[in-house]
Structure 1
């Protein structure tokens, strides 16, 4: 049986923000989610264009969208969420205290889309829109239910 190709590395997600918002996005993710820059940021003519950040076991690349692509959809993507007007993606993040993280995120410019609630499986979950238009499903495990 052919098993097909095997993943040999980690998967990295690229979050596109409006050109020029890269540092603000990096600061938000560091302050709210504890993300840390890994490696050296990507520069072009001395200006920050992108940086890789580690959030727990995951790597997220924060990238400034090309202003020409943001302005003209016929050029194709990727484009920032602000240029599109919505996002088709939700990012799940597991944290130690969803209530604290959601509160802190709103004080840093995020907006609550769905208030924190406890699910039947014991998770506490809320949905946050960050200042850059990305949706985050913020979760923490409160208790383990009997099987």
Structure 2
């Protein structure tokens, strides 16, 4: 029998952005999704290279991609979405008002990939491409009415 490891901490996701876009990404996620910087930002020679954000119960790290790796795929990843030209990942985020959040995200530089719609479950969802190329499925749960 194979021993299954026990998860002892939270899972953190790293979103790579073009080198130099780290602060813009932090500002976007704070303004649109209410993310909060946790801990200390990672600096190199006084320049911001990465920072951890708490978004609800999740931790997301925003990291500036190494410009050499972005320019030369043979060096291996990770690379920014802009260097690759697409992303194979969709991030789901649950918010209190999907229509308001999507409208605000577009005003802040994001773009709609899929308009907000009501799903068969009654939940509402839309897909946003943020200014850094990452795809977000933005959802609001239906309001449960008291019987």
Structure 1 residue 143: Cα displacement:
3.5
Aligned to 2:100: 100
Question: Unpaired segments of 5 or more residues in structure 2?
Answer: none
CA shift digits 1:97-136 (9 cap, x unpaired): 0000000000000000000000001110000000000000
Aligned to 1:78: 78
TM-score calculated relative to the size of structure 2: 0.96
Corresponding residue pairs, total: 145
Compared CA separation, residues 103 and 76, structure 1 to 2 (3 A)? same
Residues 41, 52 of structure 1: 8 Å contact kept: yes
Classify the secondary structure of the residue corresponding to 1:82.
helix
Aligned to 1:117: 117
Classify the secondary structure of the residue corresponding to 1:143.
coil
Aligned to 1:52: 52
Where in structure 1 do 4 or more consecutive aligned residues deviate above 3 Å? none
User: Which range is displaced more, 1-10 or 51-60?
Assistant: 1-10
Question: Unpaired segments of 5 or more residues in structure 1?
Answer: none
Classify the secondary structure of the residue corresponding to 1:53.
strand
Q: Distance in 1 between matches of 2:122 and 2:141?
A: 6
Residues 121, 144 of structure 1: 8 Å contact kept: no
- Cα root mean square deviation, aligned: 1.2
Which residues of 2 match residues 1-147 of structure 1 at below 5 A? 2-144=2-144
